[in-house]
Amino acid sequence: MTGGRPAVLACILLLFFVNYILGAELMINEEKLSITITVLYNNVPTDTNLTTAWGMSCLIEGPGKTILFDTGGQGHILLDNMTRLGQDPGLIQAVVLSHIHGDHTGGLGDFLAVADEVEIYVPASFLGEFKRQVQQLGHQVIDVNRPIQIVPGVFSTGEMGREIKEQALVVQTKSGLVVITGCAHPGIVDMVRRAREVVPGDLYLVMGGFHLTGFSPAAVQEVISGLKRLGVQKVGPSHCTGPAAMEMFRQAWGDDFLDLGCGGQVRIPVLTE
């Protein structure tokens, strides 16, 4: 009996090792088959280890290119938060700027100083001088007027709005569409409606700035009702949405309200054939 114990112990250790390897492979495969969205810059705190400041930026990691959506207002804060989150600016292959305001574009210069060559997608109405300065740094600028596909499964709504031109991102996932807005100056309901026209499907998550600071409760409720009618399953408002409006969204969506301020993260399985 005593002689069999080492063999039993060896079998147990072998099973443990195999299960460990299989578990690690499953985690790797899960990451490869998921879209991960991390908020790098925001005035709304989620991760208290990060620096908050007025503005918006998030990172979209998936099977295609790694995309930076907006750059916040101050580059040193953006880069410091990325370092704290273990994110390498050199791995980013595309930048999408929602609109021209400095709290969304101000960090671009510092980011480009440490990044490799990237494609930068901007609303076509961006000032020519802004685009020329970026091109002089060796980066390709792509004007966005109409809806376009940036990488498979990630789209721009195209330039929207009359006064402040803005684009939003639409990400296809297995759970439905994720719509990411910078400030939603053209109106969050209109931008989400456009997103579903560009990429038909269920609306899983709408996140980012909803531009509702200072709006009356009645006006916010009208927006909430509009998003509910569109079938939005989850919301993650931040930035310029405003504390009062955010609380109304939290009450309206309950457990489907996601805290996606600075450092907030969501991982969603990608759409597969």
Task: Check residue 28 and give its pLDDT.
Answer: 39
The pLDDT tens digits of the residues spanning 160-203 come to 999 999 999 999 999 999 999 999 999 999 999 999 999 999 99
For residues 238-259, average pLDDT: 98
3-state secondary structure of 138: coil
Task: Check residue 6 and give its pLDDT.
Answer: 65
Task: Check residue 21 and give its pLDDT.
Answer: 40
Q: Above pLDDT 90, what percent of the chain?
A: 85
Q: Above pLDDT 70, what percent of the chain?
A: 87
pTM reported for the whole predicted model = 0.88
Residue 246's nearest CA partner among 255, 233, 259 is 259
By CB neighbour count within 10 A (0-12 exposed, 13-18 middle, 19+ buried), where does 148 fall?
middle
| Ramachandran area for residue 65 (φ above 0: left; ψ -120 to 50: alpha; else beta) | beta
pLDDT for residue 11 is more than 60:
no
By CB neighbour count within 10 A (0-12 exposed, 13-18 middle, 19+ buried), where does 257 fall?
middle
For residues 143-166, average pLDDT: 96
Task: Check residue 52 and give its pLDDT.
Answer: 98
Q: Which range has the worst mean pLDDT, 2-6, 87-91, 96-100, 120-124?
A: 2-6
Task: Check residue 49 and give its pLDDT.
Answer: 97
Task: Check residue 10 and give its pLDDT.
Answer: 59
Tokens representing 151?
A: 């990488």
Q: 4: pLDDT confidence band, cut at 50, 70 and 90?
A: low
Please identify which residue in the block is written with the tokens 């990630």: 154
Task: Check residue 64 and give its pLDDT.
Answer: 82
For residues 53-60, average pLDDT: 98
State how far the alpha carbon of 252 is from the alpha carbons of 224, 227, 249, 266, in Å: 8, 11, 5, 20
Residue 207's nearest CA partner among 221, 195, 219 is 195
The pLDDT tens digits of the residues spanning 13-39 come to 555 554 544 343 333 344 568 999 999
The residues, ordered by sequence, that sit 6+ positions from 84 with a Cβ below 8 Å of its Cβ are 49, 50
